[in-house]
Every structure is written in structure tokens, then in C-alpha cells.
Homo-oligomer: A and B are copies of this chain.
Amino acid sequence: MGRPSGGNRKEEILEAGLEVFAKKGYYNTTTAHIAEKAGISQPYVFRFYKTKEELFIAALDRAFDRILDTFKNVDASGEQLVEKMIDAYDKLSELHPNEIALQVIGISVTESAIRNATQKGLSNIRSYTLERFRDAGIENVEREVTTFLARGILCNISYFVDLPELIDTKNK
């Protein structure tokens, strides 16, 4: 046919991929599923992303980038920092649940390029958090950062596997 597009096809595909990957996981998502969600044909996906893997990594990068940006936009110091960061993450999770799911999925994908992206993403988040906690003068930084990240990831998992009992109730 012709050119019904108009918008940014590449972006549309990324968005579609994000949705489908988040729901079905990496391996159970076919390029046909993504194409369908994006309203295009399956082979056309490959005009924009050389491989399914490349598309997944693009989506995963977006997820990690947004977390980092969210933390960077937290403007608080000292005592309030941790609380504000948790609030920011909670808001992000509500606004972009698919990106949260993608993080969880990335962890157990064994393809090496994806593994690398996951390592880099997690590593960056830890580094940045450590820096902020340190600057805020928090005691016992390393341990506090680990606990902070651990609780965050457990939240993601609790959401992804649909097991809300996994986290304590009065945690907003």
C-alpha cells in the first residue's frame, strides 16, 4: 500500500514492543505480536530494528533511562532524600508500569547483549543512588543503598508476578 503513517513509526514500534514485552516476557513475544499492536505488518518491524533483540534493548534502555531521570529530578537533601526518592519511584511505577515490568524481565534473559544492558542499567542506578545518599550525609551508605534498591526491586517483582502480599501493606 502507501504511506498511512505520518507519525514516528520507530517510536510507535518501541511503544508497542514495550507493551507486549512487558505483558508476555521476552521469549513469548513474537515480532508478529508487536507488529499487530503497532498496526503494521510483521516484516516491517525489521526496517526499524535489525533484530527482535535490538528492539528489546531499546525498550529496556528507555526504562532504565527514565528511572535515572526520575531520581535526578528529585530535589531534596539530608533526611528527606530517601523518602522523596521512594515517592518519585512510586509515581513513576504508576505512570509507566510497563517499564517496571521490563526491568524484571531483563533480569532473567540470558542473551548476552541483553544481559549487558541489564547490568549497565542496574549498575548506573546503584552508582547514582550511592552518590546521592552520600551527598545527603546518610550514615552507613552502602548498606542503605542496598536496602533501598532491594526494596525497590521487590516492589517490581511483587507487581510483575501479581503477588501484592509480598510487600508490607502500609508502604503507600
Residue from the set A24, A153, A157 with the largest chain B CB neighbour count within 10 Å: A157
- A-side interface mostly: helix
**Contact residues in B for A119 (Cβ distance below 8 Å):** 161-163
CB contacts under 8 Å to B, within A137-166, are 142-143, 145-147, 149-151, 153-154, 157, 160-163, 165-166
In the bound complex, how far is the Cα of B154 from the Cα of A17, in angstroms? 27
Kindly report which residue of chain B lies nearest to residue A102, judged by CB atoms. Answer: B108
Residues from 83 to 137 in A contacting B, C-beta threshold 8 Å: 104-105, 107-111, 115, 118-119, 122-123, 126
Chain A residues within 8 Å of B, Cβ to Cβ? 23-28, 104-105, 107-111, 115, 118-119, 122-123, 126, 142-143, 145-147, 149-151, 153-154, 157, 160-163, 165-171
